[in-house]
Amino acid sequence: MERNNPIKDAGNADTFGRLSFETNYAPKAMRIKDLKIGMKSVSLKAKVLEVTKSTLVVTRFGNYANVANALISDDTGTIKLCLWNDQINCVSVGDTVQVENARISAFRGERQLRVGKNGVLSVAQDLIAD
């Protein structure tokens, strides 16, 4: 009875399928028009249109930090990118930025892209249209 148990064999096949999917997963670059509030692990490439003047704020942990917003754009739309401390000086108007592992949130009713401690923000060479 153990040898011809189809349920036992199906369980092993399902485990193998999950493992192979996870190892072949590669994050896909997204477009701004497709971003929704609450999304995580967002990667995209966009051009910086505007960077606001930085403001000194007190964080929820009681530390002081500089914060500024950059308006970034691709061929599908625009979104605000939240910049903290050293990130502010790394980005300037006209740069193309590559954002990886970011989140989409809402601040004062607007969608906002947040890089966070696990994300990566870098200046890329040029905007590639796919």
**For all residues of the chain together, what is the average pLDDT?**
81
For the segment 35-61, the average pLDDT, to the nearest whole number, is 91
Quote the distance between the C-alpha of residue 38 and its chain's center.
11
Instruction: Provide the pLDDT confidence category of residue 116 given band limits of 50, 70 and 90.
Output: confident
Would you identify the CATH topology of the domain 28-124?
Answer: OB fold (Dihydrolipoamide Acetyltransferase, E2P) (2.40.50)
**Domain ranges in the chain?**
28-124
Checking if the pLDDT of 104 tops 70, the result is: yes
Contact 31, 74 (CB under 8 A): yes
Does the pLDDT of residue 53 top 90, yes or no?
yes
Which of 120, 119, 101, 102 is CA-nearest to residue 111?
Answer: 102
Average pLDDT over residues 50-72: 92
Q: Is the pLDDT of residue 19 over 80?
A: no
